Structure 1
Amino acid sequence: MVILLILLLLPIAFFLPCGAWAGEIIGGQEAKPHSRPYMAYLEIQRKGKMYICGGFLVSENFVLTAAHCKGDEITVYLGAHNIKQQEQSQQKISVDHQIIHPKYNKKTLNNDIMLLQLEERAKLNRWVDTITLPRANETVKPGTMCSVAGWGNTRTECLLFPDTLQEVDVVVMKDAECPKKRKGPYHNYNASTMMCVGDPAQCKDSSQGDSGGPLVCGKTAQGIVSWGPCRAPGVYTRVSTFIRWIEKTMRKLQP
Protein backbone atom coordinates (compact mmCIF):
# COMPACT_ATOMS: atom_id res chain seq x y z
CA MET A 1 0.00 0.00 0.00
CA VAL A 2 1.17 3.49 -0.58
CA ILE A 3 0.16 6.83 0.92
CA LEU A 4 -3.28 8.59 1.05
CA LEU A 5 -5.83 9.96 -1.44
CA ILE A 6 -4.71 11.75 -4.54
CA LEU A 7 -4.75 15.25 -5.77
CA LEU A 8 -4.83 14.08 -9.36
CA LEU A 9 -1.06 13.65 -9.05
CA LEU A 10 -0.33 14.59 -5.43
CA PRO A 11 -1.23 12.40 -2.49
CA ILE A 12 -2.98 14.01 0.47
CA ALA A 13 -1.20 11.43 2.55
CA PHE A 14 1.61 13.86 3.04
CA PHE A 15 -0.54 15.20 5.86
CA LEU A 16 -0.36 11.84 7.62
CA PRO A 17 2.53 10.39 9.63
CA CYS A 18 5.35 9.17 7.39
CA GLY A 19 4.71 5.68 6.06
CA ALA A 20 0.94 5.85 6.37
CA TRP A 21 -1.49 5.77 3.48
CA ALA A 22 -5.17 6.13 3.26
CA GLY A 23 -6.31 4.64 0.36
CA GLU A 24 -4.47 1.99 -5.21
CA ILE A 25 -4.90 -1.36 -6.46
CA ILE A 26 -1.62 -3.28 -6.50
CA GLY A 27 -1.27 -6.69 -8.15
CA GLY A 28 -4.77 -6.69 -9.58
CA GLN A 29 -6.41 -6.33 -12.97
CA GLU A 30 -9.06 -4.33 -14.78
CA ALA A 31 -12.55 -5.13 -13.54
CA LYS A 32 -15.21 -6.35 -15.95
CA PRO A 33 -17.02 -3.13 -16.98
CA HIS A 34 -19.96 -2.35 -14.68
CA SER A 35 -19.59 -5.60 -12.72
CA ARG A 36 -19.53 -3.51 -9.53
CA PRO A 37 -22.53 -1.17 -9.98
CA TYR A 38 -22.25 0.06 -6.39
CA MET A 39 -18.84 1.70 -6.97
CA ALA A 40 -18.60 5.47 -6.63
CA TYR A 41 -15.79 7.73 -7.83
CA LEU A 42 -15.44 10.81 -5.64
CA GLU A 43 -13.99 14.05 -6.97
CA ILE A 44 -13.05 16.14 -3.95
CA GLN A 45 -12.32 19.87 -3.84
CA ARG A 46 -10.29 20.89 -0.81
CA LYS A 47 -8.64 24.28 -0.39
CA GLY A 48 -8.55 24.86 -4.14
CA LYS A 49 -7.03 21.47 -4.97
CA MET A 50 -8.58 18.28 -6.32
CA TYR A 51 -8.33 14.85 -4.74
CA ILE A 52 -10.01 11.52 -5.46
CA CYS A 53 -11.48 8.77 -3.32
CA GLY A 54 -13.67 5.75 -3.73
CA GLY A 55 -17.03 5.08 -2.16
CA PHE A 56 -20.06 2.82 -2.54
CA LEU A 57 -23.79 3.33 -2.93
CA VAL A 58 -25.81 2.03 0.04
CA SER A 59 -29.17 3.61 -0.85
CA GLU A 60 -30.55 5.76 -3.66
CA ASN A 61 -29.29 8.93 -1.99
CA PHE A 62 -26.43 7.84 0.30
CA VAL A 63 -22.82 6.88 -0.44
CA LEU A 64 -20.53 5.42 2.22
CA THR A 65 -16.83 6.32 2.23
CA ALA A 66 -13.91 7.13 4.57
CA ALA A 67 -14.03 10.17 6.85
CA HIS A 68 -10.58 11.30 5.71
CA CYS A 69 -12.11 11.84 2.24
CA LYS A 70 -13.95 14.92 3.49
CA GLY A 71 -13.67 18.02 1.32
CA ASP A 72 -15.06 21.48 0.77
CA GLU A 73 -17.13 20.08 -2.10
CA ILE A 74 -17.57 16.51 -3.34
CA THR A 75 -18.98 15.31 -6.66
CA VAL A 76 -19.98 11.65 -6.98
CA TYR A 77 -19.79 9.68 -10.23
CA LEU A 78 -21.87 6.50 -10.34
CA GLY A 79 -22.03 3.91 -13.11
CA ALA A 80 -18.46 4.64 -14.23
CA HIS A 81 -15.88 2.25 -15.63
CA ASN A 82 -13.56 4.54 -17.61
CA ILE A 83 -13.60 7.67 -15.51
CA LYS A 84 -11.92 9.72 -18.25
CA GLN A 85 -14.79 9.15 -20.68
CA GLN A 86 -18.34 10.46 -20.64
CA GLU A 87 -19.99 7.06 -20.61
CA GLN A 88 -23.74 6.77 -21.17
CA SER A 89 -23.94 4.81 -17.92
CA GLN A 90 -22.52 7.56 -15.71
CA GLN A 91 -24.52 9.65 -13.26
CA LYS A 92 -22.86 12.78 -11.86
CA ILE A 93 -24.40 13.95 -8.58
CA SER A 94 -23.24 16.61 -6.12
CA VAL A 95 -23.07 15.88 -2.40
CA ASP A 96 -25.52 17.79 -0.21
CA HIS A 97 -24.24 16.76 3.24
CA GLN A 98 -21.02 15.15 4.46
CA ILE A 99 -21.68 13.34 7.74
CA ILE A 100 -18.49 12.24 9.48
CA HIS A 101 -18.72 9.82 12.39
CA PRO A 102 -18.76 11.92 15.59
CA LYS A 103 -15.84 9.97 17.08
CA TYR A 104 -13.58 10.11 14.02
CA ASN A 105 -9.95 10.72 15.02
CA LYS A 106 -7.76 12.43 12.39
CA LYS A 107 -4.52 11.33 14.03
CA THR A 108 -5.28 7.63 14.51
CA LEU A 109 -7.89 7.33 11.72
CA ASN A 110 -10.10 5.49 14.19
CA ASN A 111 -13.81 5.52 13.20
CA ASP A 112 -12.77 6.45 9.64
CA ILE A 113 -16.26 6.43 8.13
CA MET A 114 -18.48 9.05 6.49
CA LEU A 115 -21.92 9.12 4.90
CA LEU A 116 -22.53 11.35 1.88
CA GLN A 117 -26.10 12.48 1.26
CA LEU A 118 -26.60 13.14 -2.43
CA GLU A 119 -28.44 16.21 -3.71
CA GLU A 120 -30.70 13.95 -5.76
CA ARG A 121 -31.51 10.26 -5.78
CA ALA A 122 -29.49 8.00 -8.03
CA LYS A 123 -31.42 6.23 -10.77
CA LEU A 124 -30.93 2.52 -10.12
CA ASN A 125 -30.39 0.39 -13.20
CA ARG A 126 -27.99 -2.27 -14.54
CA TRP A 127 -25.05 0.15 -14.22
CA VAL A 128 -25.92 1.76 -10.88
CA ASP A 129 -27.08 -0.20 -7.84
CA THR A 130 -26.63 -0.49 -4.09
CA ILE A 131 -24.57 -3.04 -2.16
CA THR A 132 -25.64 -4.94 0.94
CA LEU A 133 -24.22 -3.95 4.34
CA PRO A 134 -23.40 -6.52 7.05
CA ARG A 135 -25.44 -7.16 10.18
CA ALA A 136 -24.46 -5.13 13.23
CA ASN A 137 -21.23 -6.45 14.78
CA GLU A 138 -20.94 -9.24 12.21
CA THR A 139 -17.37 -10.57 11.91
CA VAL A 140 -15.43 -11.97 8.96
CA LYS A 141 -13.30 -15.03 9.67
CA PRO A 142 -9.55 -14.77 9.04
CA GLY A 143 -8.71 -16.58 5.82
CA THR A 144 -11.82 -15.29 4.05
CA MET A 145 -11.08 -14.15 0.50
CA CYS A 146 -12.57 -10.76 -0.31
CA SER A 147 -11.97 -8.15 -3.00
CA VAL A 148 -11.34 -4.45 -3.29
CA ALA A 149 -11.60 -2.12 -6.28
CA GLY A 150 -10.78 1.45 -7.23
CA TRP A 151 -9.26 3.92 -9.65
CA GLY A 152 -6.14 4.49 -7.54
CA ASN A 153 -2.45 4.07 -8.29
CA THR A 154 -1.36 0.68 -9.68
CA ARG A 155 2.40 0.76 -9.10
CA THR A 156 4.51 0.60 -5.95
CA GLU A 157 7.57 2.22 -7.53
CA CYS A 158 5.84 5.19 -9.17
CA LEU A 159 2.51 6.97 -9.55
CA LEU A 160 0.33 5.53 -12.31
CA PHE A 161 -3.41 6.09 -12.15
CA PRO A 162 -5.58 4.03 -14.52
CA ASP A 163 -8.60 5.36 -16.38
CA THR A 164 -10.57 2.17 -15.75
CA LEU A 165 -11.73 0.47 -12.55
CA GLN A 166 -9.19 -2.02 -11.18
CA GLU A 167 -9.82 -4.88 -8.74
CA VAL A 168 -7.85 -7.38 -6.68
CA ASP A 169 -8.59 -10.27 -4.32
CA VAL A 170 -7.28 -9.92 -0.78
CA VAL A 171 -7.45 -12.18 2.25
CA VAL A 172 -8.70 -11.21 5.72
CA MET A 173 -5.94 -11.66 8.30
CA LYS A 174 -5.97 -12.22 12.05
CA ASP A 175 -5.84 -9.03 14.10
CA ALA A 176 -2.46 -10.19 15.41
CA GLU A 177 -1.03 -9.60 11.92
CA CYS A 178 -1.53 -5.85 12.59
CA PRO A 179 0.17 -5.74 16.01
CA LYS A 180 -0.28 -2.70 18.26
CA LYS A 181 3.42 -2.27 18.99
CA ARG A 182 4.23 1.16 20.37
CA LYS A 183 6.59 2.17 17.55
CA GLY A 184 5.30 -0.19 14.91
CA PRO A 185 3.28 0.75 11.80
CA TYR A 186 0.07 -0.58 13.38
CA HIS A 187 0.31 1.14 16.76
CA ASN A 188 -3.07 2.82 16.12
CA TYR A 189 -4.82 -0.42 15.13
CA ASN A 190 -8.16 -0.96 16.91
CA ALA A 191 -9.64 -4.43 16.44
CA SER A 192 -13.16 -3.30 17.36
CA THR A 193 -13.37 -0.71 14.58
CA MET A 194 -10.77 -1.93 12.07
CA MET A 195 -9.95 -5.00 9.95
CA CYS A 196 -6.49 -6.32 9.08
CA VAL A 197 -6.51 -7.35 5.41
CA GLY A 198 -3.91 -8.55 2.90
CA ASP A 199 -1.26 -11.29 3.00
CA PRO A 200 2.23 -9.69 3.19
CA ALA A 201 3.56 -12.66 1.17
CA GLN A 202 1.45 -11.59 -1.81
CA CYS A 203 1.91 -8.35 -3.71
CA LYS A 204 -1.81 -7.64 -3.73
CA ASP A 205 -3.19 -4.59 -2.05
CA SER A 206 -5.25 -1.41 -2.15
CA SER A 207 -3.70 2.01 -1.63
CA GLN A 208 -3.32 5.55 -2.91
CA GLY A 209 -6.54 6.85 -4.42
CA ASP A 210 -8.67 3.88 -3.32
CA SER A 211 -9.54 5.34 0.07
CA GLY A 212 -13.20 5.01 0.91
CA GLY A 213 -13.82 2.08 -1.44
CA PRO A 214 -15.48 -1.12 -0.19
CA LEU A 215 -13.92 -4.37 0.92
CA VAL A 216 -16.42 -6.84 -0.53
CA CYS A 217 -16.75 -10.30 1.01
CA GLY A 218 -19.27 -12.38 -0.88
CA LYS A 219 -21.84 -9.77 -1.82
CA THR A 220 -21.46 -7.64 1.30
CA ALA A 221 -19.42 -4.49 1.97
CA GLN A 222 -17.58 -5.52 5.12
CA GLY A 223 -14.85 -2.88 5.13
CA ILE A 224 -13.75 0.54 3.89
CA VAL A 225 -10.24 1.24 2.57
CA SER A 226 -8.64 3.34 5.29
CA TRP A 227 -4.88 3.27 6.01
CA GLY A 228 -1.73 1.19 6.41
CA PRO A 229 2.03 1.00 5.78
CA CYS A 230 3.59 0.69 2.34
CA ARG A 231 2.88 -3.04 2.08
CA ALA A 232 0.16 -5.47 3.15
CA PRO A 233 -1.61 -5.99 5.39
CA GLY A 234 -3.65 -2.83 5.22
CA VAL A 235 -6.26 -1.51 7.60
CA TYR A 236 -9.94 -1.21 6.71
CA THR A 237 -12.79 0.34 8.68
CA ARG A 238 -15.00 -2.46 10.06
CA VAL A 239 -18.44 -1.54 8.66
CA SER A 240 -20.43 -3.86 10.95
CA THR A 241 -19.34 -1.81 13.98
CA PHE A 242 -21.15 1.23 12.57
CA ILE A 243 -24.42 -0.25 11.27
CA ARG A 244 -26.60 1.35 13.95
CA TRP A 245 -24.98 4.76 13.36
CA ILE A 246 -25.44 4.38 9.59
CA GLU A 247 -29.11 3.41 9.89
CA LYS A 248 -29.88 6.11 12.45
CA THR A 249 -28.17 8.82 10.39
CA MET A 250 -29.89 7.81 7.15
CA ARG A 251 -33.32 7.74 8.82
CA LYS A 252 -32.73 11.19 10.32
CA LEU A 253 -31.77 12.73 6.98
CA GLN A 254 -34.28 11.04 4.70
CA PRO A 255 -36.61 13.64 3.11
Structure 2
Amino acid sequence: MLLLLLLLVAVLPFSTEGGKIFWGTEAKRHSHPYMAFLEIYESGSHPKKCGGFLVKKDIVMTAAHCNGSEINVTLGAHNIKDRNNNIQRIPVVKTIVHKGYSHAKMVNDIMLLKLKHKAQLSNAVKTIDLPKSQDRVKPGQVCTVAGWGPLANCTLPNTLQEVKLEVQKSQKCREMYKNYNDSIQLCVGNPKEKKATAESDSGGPFVCHSVVQGIVSQHHCTGDLPEVYTRISSFMPWIQKMIKILQQP
Protein backbone atom coordinates (compact mmCIF):
# COMPACT_ATOMS: atom_id res chain seq x y z
CA MET A 1 0.00 0.00 0.00
CA LEU A 2 1.66 3.20 -0.72
CA LEU A 3 2.25 6.64 -1.72
CA LEU A 4 1.53 8.81 -4.64
CA LEU A 5 -2.04 9.44 -5.06
CA LEU A 6 -1.73 11.86 -7.92
CA LEU A 7 -4.93 13.69 -8.51
CA LEU A 8 -6.33 10.31 -8.83
CA VAL A 9 -6.00 8.88 -12.25
CA ALA A 10 -9.55 7.68 -11.75
CA VAL A 11 -10.76 11.20 -11.10
CA LEU A 12 -8.76 13.22 -13.59
CA PRO A 13 -8.33 11.89 -17.12
CA PHE A 14 -4.74 11.32 -18.12
CA SER A 15 -3.28 14.06 -20.26
CA THR A 16 0.27 15.00 -21.16
CA GLU A 17 -0.82 18.62 -21.48
CA GLY A 18 -0.59 19.11 -17.74
CA GLY A 19 3.09 18.19 -17.75
CA LYS A 20 4.81 15.02 -16.72
CA ILE A 21 3.41 13.13 -13.75
CA PHE A 22 6.20 12.50 -11.27
CA TRP A 23 6.07 9.20 -9.39
CA GLY A 24 7.67 8.14 -6.18
CA THR A 25 10.06 5.23 -6.22
CA GLU A 26 10.61 2.04 -4.31
CA ALA A 27 12.78 2.81 -1.29
CA LYS A 28 16.15 1.17 -0.86
CA ARG A 29 15.70 -1.80 1.46
CA HIS A 30 15.82 -0.68 5.12
CA SER A 31 16.72 2.91 4.21
CA HIS A 32 13.85 3.97 6.52
CA PRO A 33 14.44 1.62 9.48
CA TYR A 34 12.13 3.65 11.73
CA MET A 35 9.08 2.84 9.58
CA ALA A 36 6.17 0.99 11.16
CA PHE A 37 3.32 -0.72 9.32
CA LEU A 38 0.06 -0.57 11.30
CA GLU A 39 -2.91 -2.91 10.99
CA ILE A 40 -5.93 -1.48 12.82
CA TYR A 41 -8.95 -3.56 13.71
CA GLU A 42 -12.49 -2.59 14.64
CA SER A 43 -15.24 -5.15 15.19
CA GLY A 44 -17.38 -5.70 12.11
CA SER A 45 -15.10 -3.92 9.66
CA HIS A 46 -12.12 -4.71 7.47
CA PRO A 47 -8.68 -3.94 8.90
CA LYS A 48 -7.45 -0.41 8.25
CA LYS A 49 -3.81 0.20 7.41
CA CYS A 50 -1.60 3.14 8.36
CA GLY A 51 2.02 4.10 8.68
CA GLY A 52 3.89 5.10 11.79
CA PHE A 53 7.44 5.45 13.08
CA LEU A 54 9.47 4.21 16.02
CA VAL A 55 10.49 6.97 18.45
CA LYS A 56 11.50 4.76 21.40
CA LYS A 57 12.17 1.03 21.51
CA ASP A 58 8.60 0.45 22.69
CA ILE A 59 6.78 3.56 21.42
CA VAL A 60 5.45 4.32 17.93
CA MET A 61 4.05 7.66 16.80
CA THR A 62 1.27 7.92 14.22
CA ALA A 63 -1.88 9.91 13.37
CA ALA A 64 -4.78 9.95 15.83
CA HIS A 65 -7.23 9.00 13.08
CA CYS A 66 -5.38 5.66 12.82
CA ASN A 67 -6.75 4.59 16.21
CA GLY A 68 -8.72 1.38 16.66
CA SER A 69 -9.78 -1.21 19.22
CA GLU A 70 -6.81 -3.41 18.31
CA ILE A 71 -3.56 -2.38 16.59
CA ASN A 72 -0.67 -4.56 15.48
CA VAL A 73 2.67 -3.00 14.51
CA THR A 74 5.17 -4.46 12.04
CA LEU A 75 8.76 -3.22 12.21
CA GLY A 76 11.73 -4.02 9.98
CA ALA A 77 9.63 -4.62 6.86
CA HIS A 78 10.45 -3.67 3.29
CA ASN A 79 8.10 -6.05 1.54
CA ILE A 80 5.18 -6.44 3.93
CA LYS A 81 4.43 -9.90 2.50
CA ASP A 82 7.88 -11.19 3.46
CA ARG A 83 8.49 -13.46 6.41
CA ASN A 84 12.10 -13.04 7.45
CA ASN A 85 14.25 -12.49 10.53
CA ASN A 86 14.24 -8.70 10.15
CA ILE A 87 10.50 -8.41 10.67
CA GLN A 88 9.10 -7.89 14.17
CA ARG A 89 5.35 -7.96 14.75
CA ILE A 90 4.33 -6.47 18.09
CA PRO A 91 0.82 -5.78 19.41
CA VAL A 92 -0.07 -2.40 20.90
CA VAL A 93 -1.09 -2.48 24.58
CA LYS A 94 -1.91 1.20 25.11
CA THR A 95 -2.74 4.24 22.99
CA ILE A 96 -2.64 7.93 23.89
CA VAL A 97 -4.55 10.23 21.54
CA HIS A 98 -4.05 13.97 21.88
CA LYS A 99 -6.94 15.30 23.96
CA GLY A 100 -7.51 18.08 21.43
CA TYR A 101 -7.91 15.74 18.49
CA SER A 102 -11.02 16.36 16.40
CA HIS A 103 -11.90 13.94 13.63
CA ALA A 104 -14.38 16.44 12.20
CA LYS A 105 -11.80 19.24 12.01
CA MET A 106 -8.74 16.95 11.66
CA VAL A 107 -6.63 18.99 14.06
CA ASN A 108 -4.18 17.70 16.69
CA ASP A 109 -3.97 14.52 14.65
CA ILE A 110 -1.28 12.76 16.68
CA MET A 111 -1.15 9.56 18.75
CA LEU A 112 1.42 7.50 20.65
CA LEU A 113 1.36 3.70 20.79
CA LYS A 114 2.89 1.62 23.58
CA LEU A 115 4.17 -1.72 22.28
CA LYS A 116 3.77 -4.96 24.24
CA HIS A 117 7.54 -5.28 24.42
CA LYS A 118 10.62 -3.40 23.25
CA ALA A 119 11.73 -3.79 19.65
CA GLN A 120 15.11 -5.35 19.00
CA LEU A 121 17.14 -2.65 17.27
CA SER A 122 19.13 -3.66 14.18
CA ASN A 123 20.04 -2.39 10.73
CA ALA A 124 16.39 -2.90 9.78
CA VAL A 125 14.82 -1.46 12.96
CA LYS A 126 15.88 1.88 14.45
CA THR A 127 14.30 4.85 16.19
CA ILE A 128 14.16 8.28 14.55
CA ASP A 129 15.03 11.62 16.11
CA LEU A 130 12.24 14.01 17.08
CA PRO A 131 12.50 17.77 16.47
CA LYS A 132 13.07 20.48 19.03
CA SER A 133 10.08 22.61 20.03
CA GLN A 134 11.51 25.63 18.23
CA ASP A 135 12.16 23.81 14.93
CA ARG A 136 10.32 25.33 11.97
CA VAL A 137 10.02 23.67 8.59
CA LYS A 138 9.76 26.44 6.02
CA PRO A 139 8.13 26.75 2.59
CA GLY A 140 10.40 25.54 -0.19
CA GLN A 141 12.05 22.90 1.97
CA VAL A 142 11.97 19.42 0.43
CA CYS A 143 11.65 16.40 2.71
CA THR A 144 10.84 12.71 2.34
CA VAL A 145 7.78 10.58 3.08
CA ALA A 146 7.66 6.80 2.94
CA GLY A 147 4.77 4.36 3.16
CA TRP A 148 2.85 1.43 1.73
CA GLY A 149 -0.25 3.36 0.57
CA PRO A 150 -1.92 3.15 -2.87
CA LEU A 151 0.04 4.17 -5.93
CA ALA A 152 -1.27 6.66 -8.46
CA ASN A 153 -2.63 3.80 -10.59
CA CYS A 154 -4.59 2.58 -7.55
CA THR A 155 -2.57 -0.61 -7.14
CA LEU A 156 -1.21 -1.59 -3.73
CA PRO A 157 2.54 -2.17 -3.59
CA ASN A 158 4.01 -4.72 -1.20
CA THR A 159 7.30 -2.84 -0.97
CA LEU A 160 7.97 0.44 0.81
CA GLN A 161 7.77 3.48 -1.47
CA GLU A 162 9.24 6.95 -0.94
CA VAL A 163 8.71 10.39 -2.39
CA LYS A 164 10.22 13.84 -1.90
CA LEU A 165 7.65 16.57 -1.22
CA GLU A 166 8.00 20.32 -0.97
CA VAL A 167 6.63 22.38 1.91
CA GLN A 168 4.19 25.04 0.70
CA LYS A 169 3.14 28.45 1.96
CA SER A 170 0.34 28.21 4.50
CA GLN A 171 -2.00 30.32 2.37
CA LYS A 172 -2.36 27.46 -0.13
CA CYS A 173 -3.74 25.17 2.57
CA ARG A 174 -5.94 27.86 4.09
CA GLU A 175 -7.68 28.16 0.73
CA MET A 176 -8.42 24.41 0.61
CA TYR A 177 -8.89 23.38 4.25
CA LYS A 178 -11.11 25.58 6.40
CA ASN A 179 -9.55 24.37 9.66
CA TYR A 180 -5.91 24.61 8.60
CA ASN A 181 -3.71 26.02 11.36
CA ASP A 182 -0.10 26.77 10.44
CA SER A 183 1.02 26.76 14.08
CA ILE A 184 0.26 23.03 14.43
CA GLN A 185 0.17 21.85 10.80
CA LEU A 186 2.36 21.73 7.70
CA CYS A 187 1.22 22.47 4.14
CA VAL A 188 2.94 19.91 1.89
CA GLY A 189 3.00 19.02 -1.81
CA ASN A 190 3.69 21.17 -4.86
CA PRO A 191 0.61 21.11 -7.15
CA LYS A 192 2.90 21.46 -10.20
CA GLU A 193 4.63 18.17 -9.42
CA LYS A 194 1.52 16.13 -8.60
CA LYS A 195 3.39 13.98 -6.07
CA ALA A 196 1.34 13.11 -3.02
CA THR A 197 0.56 10.62 -0.27
CA ALA A 198 -2.54 8.41 -0.19
CA GLU A 199 -4.95 7.17 2.46
CA SER A 200 -2.95 4.22 3.81
CA ASP A 201 0.11 6.44 4.16
CA SER A 202 -1.65 8.20 7.04
CA GLY A 203 0.46 8.36 10.19
CA GLY A 204 3.71 8.10 8.25
CA PRO A 205 6.72 10.37 8.88
CA PHE A 206 7.73 13.51 6.99
CA VAL A 207 11.50 13.44 7.43
CA CYS A 208 13.85 16.40 6.96
CA HIS A 209 17.60 15.88 7.43
CA SER A 210 17.04 12.65 9.43
CA VAL A 211 14.57 14.33 11.83
CA VAL A 212 10.85 13.60 11.67
CA GLN A 213 9.02 16.93 11.34
CA GLY A 214 5.52 15.91 10.27
CA ILE A 215 2.86 13.20 10.33
CA VAL A 216 0.77 12.44 7.24
CA SER A 217 -2.69 13.62 8.25
CA GLN A 218 -5.14 14.54 5.46
CA HIS A 219 -5.58 15.07 1.76
CA HIS A 220 -8.31 16.97 -0.06
CA CYS A 221 -11.41 15.05 -1.17
CA THR A 222 -10.74 16.00 -4.81
CA GLY A 223 -7.16 14.76 -4.68
CA ASP A 224 -5.85 18.28 -5.25
CA LEU A 225 -2.59 19.38 -3.66
CA PRO A 226 -1.25 20.49 -1.24
CA GLU A 227 -1.98 18.19 1.71
CA VAL A 228 -1.93 18.74 5.46
CA TYR A 229 0.52 17.12 7.88
CA THR A 230 0.72 17.44 11.67
CA ARG A 231 3.62 19.72 12.71
CA ILE A 232 5.43 17.61 15.35
CA SER A 233 7.59 20.39 16.83
CA SER A 234 4.45 22.13 18.11
CA PHE A 235 3.57 19.06 20.18
CA MET A 236 6.97 18.32 21.74
CA PRO A 237 6.02 19.26 25.36
CA TRP A 238 2.98 16.97 25.10
CA ILE A 239 5.02 14.20 23.44
CA GLN A 240 7.72 14.28 26.11
CA LYS A 241 5.13 14.18 28.89
CA MET A 242 3.22 11.27 27.32
CA ILE A 243 6.40 9.26 26.65
CA LYS A 244 7.26 9.50 30.36
CA ILE A 245 3.78 8.23 31.22
CA LEU A 246 4.02 5.33 28.78
CA GLN A 247 7.46 4.33 30.05
CA GLN A 248 6.38 4.13 33.68
CA PRO A 249 6.48 0.58 35.07
Asked whether the two chains share a fold, i.e. TM above 0.5, the reply is yes
2:40 to 44, 47, 63: 44
Q: CA deviation at 1:159?
A: 2.6
Question: Does the alignment pair 1:34 with 2:26?
Answer: no
How many residues matched?
227
**Structure 2 residue matching 1:252: 3-state secondary structure:** helix
**Structure 2 residue matching 1:178: 3-state secondary structure:** helix
Q: How far, CA to CA, are the matches of 1:82 and 1:126 in structure 2?
A: 15
Q: CA deviation at 1:77?
A: 0.2
Q: How far, CA to CA, are the matches of 1:60 and 1:47 in structure 2?
A: 29
Report what 2:239 is aligned to: 246
Question: Does the alignment pair 1:94 with 2:85?
Answer: no
Report what 2:192 is aligned to: 201
**Structure 2 residue matching 1:241: 3-state secondary structure:** helix
8 Å contact 1:34–1:80 — kept in the other structure? yes
Q: CA deviation at 1:231?
A: 2.4
Report what 2:119 is aligned to: 122
8 Å contact 1:74–1:95 — kept in the other structure? yes
8 Å contact 1:212–1:225 — kept in the other structure? yes
Which AA in structure 1 matches 2:180?
Y
Report what 1:9 is aligned to: none
Q: How far, CA to CA, are the matches of 2:104 and 2:23 in structure 1?
A: 29
Could you tell which deviates more after superposition, 40-49 or 104-113? 40-49
Larger Rg: 2
Q: CA deviation at 1:243?
A: 0.7
Question: Does the alignment pair 1:233 with 2:226?
Answer: yes
Partner deviation per Cα, 1:223-250 (whole Å, 9 max, x = no partner)? 0000021122110000001111111011
Q: CA deviation at 1:2?
A: 5.4
Partner deviation per Cα, 1:109-131 (whole Å, 9 max, x = no partner)? 10000000001000111110000
Q: For structure 1, which runs of at least 5 residues remain unmatched after alignment? A: 4-25
Q: How far, CA to CA, are the matches of 1:199 and 1:250 in structure 2?
A: 34
Structure 1 residue runs of 4 or more that deviate by more than 2 Å after TM superposition: none
Q: How far, CA to CA, are the matches of 1:82 and 1:55 in structure 2?
A: 16
Q: Give the TM-score, by structure 1 length.
A: 0.86
Q: For structure 2, which runs of at least 5 residues remain unmatched after alignment? A: 7-21
Q: How far, CA to CA, are the matches of 1:245 and 1:232 in structure 2?
A: 29
Report what 1:220 is aligned to: 211
Q: How far, CA to CA, are the matches of 1:150 and 1:44 in structure 2?
A: 16
Q: CA deviation at 1:141?
A: 1.6
**Structure 2 residue matching 1:247: 3-state secondary structure:** helix
Q: CA deviation at 1:215?
A: 0.3
Which AA in structure 2 matches 1:228?
H
Q: CA deviation at 1:47?
A: 2.4
Question: Does the alignment pair 1:174 with 2:164?
Answer: no
Q: How far, CA to CA, are the matches of 1:87 and 1:38 in structure 2?
A: 17
Q: Give the TM-score, by structure 2 length.
A: 0.88
**Structure 2 residue matching 1:111: 3-state secondary structure:** coil
Q: 1:187 to 1:212 in 2, by over 3 A?
A: same
**Structure 1 residue matching 2:123: 3-state secondary structure:** coil
Which AA in structure 2 matches 1:46?
E
Could you tell which deviates more after superposition, 135-144 or 97-106? 135-144
Q: How far, CA to CA, are the matches of 2:105 and 2:78 in structure 1?
A: 32
Report what 1:153 is aligned to: 150
